[in-house]
């Protein structure tokens, strides 16, 4: 079962505080865990990121996140109905504006987003449906959305474009699985994930 996200962090305490405040502690039952690293984030976009709903006053929400220590970043998104920010250690995340399909589908912490190449969507969707123990709620050209049962305010969205894999992913999914040994594994797209029993 998908139970959380693991972040590599240079400053575990600062990152824990930022994300607790950024999400207002509302993570749909998922745990955000921060593990120490000495390696700073590279210039490449992360393959895994969070989308947060900005709400009707999304401009004030963006200002609140900036005051917490986020920064605006340009990853080539162009003119889109969301704002791309980065946490204090340069991990990208999005704040979705009202009317965005993700906001219409969820509330609170809108989505965990995993980059998946178009040709790998079926394989990755089936893999994560089995590992997360979540069901496919939507399947479109843009990607696949998985949800837990019972439905909560979080979903796992997979789709293109897939950022190049240049090193170990800084953010990784965490699952609990009684019938599998604990450790770090790779999904079919080469993304690391953690398993504990």
Q: For 89-137, how does the pLDDT look when each residue is reduced to its tens digit (9 = 90+)?
A: 999 999 988 877 666 555 556 789 999 999 999 999 999 999 999 999 8
What is the share, in percent, of the chain residues with pLDDT greater than 70?
95
Q: Which residue has the higher pLDDT, 180 or 18?
A: 18
The reported pTM is 0.91
Predicted local distance difference test score (pLDDT) of residue 106: 55
| pLDDT at 149 (0 to 100) | 80
Domains of the chain: 2-196 (3.10.180.10)
Q: In this predicted structure, which of 59-73, 99-113, 153-167 has the lowest mean pLDDT?
A: 99-113
Question: What SS3 class is residue 166?
Answer: coil
Sign of CA dihedral 24, 158, 93, 104: negative
Pairing of strands 48-53, 109-115: antiparallel
Averaged confidence pLDDT in the chain: 90
The tokens for 89 are 């250690």
CA triple 179-5-104, angle to 5 deg:
110
Structure token digits, residue 66:
């900036």
């Amino acid at each position: 079962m998908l139970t959380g996200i693991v972040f590599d962090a240079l400053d575990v305490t600062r990152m824990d505080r930022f994300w607790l405040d950024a999400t207002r502690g509302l993570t749909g039952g998922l745990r955000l865990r921060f593990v120490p690293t000495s390696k700073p984030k590279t210039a490449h976009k992360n393959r895994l990121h969070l989308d947060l709903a900005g709400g009707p006053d999304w401009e004030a929400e963006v200002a609140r996140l900036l005051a917490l220590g986020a920064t605006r970043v340009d990853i080539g998104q162009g003119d889109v109905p969301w704002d791309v920010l980065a946490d204090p250690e340069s991990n990208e995340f999005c704040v979705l504006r009202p009317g965005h399909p993700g906001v219409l589908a969820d509330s609170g912490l809108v989505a965990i987003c995993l980059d998946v190449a178009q040709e790998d969507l079926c394989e990755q969707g089936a893999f994560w449906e089995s590992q997360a123990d979540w069901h496919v709620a939507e399947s479109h050209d843009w990607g696949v959305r998985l949800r837990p049962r019972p439905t909560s305010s979080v979903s796992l969205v997979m789709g293109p474009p897939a950022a190049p894999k240049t090193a170990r992913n800084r953010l990784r999914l965490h699952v609990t699985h009684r019938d599998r040994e604990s450790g770090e594994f790779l999904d079919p797209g080469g993304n690391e994930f953690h398993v504990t029993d």
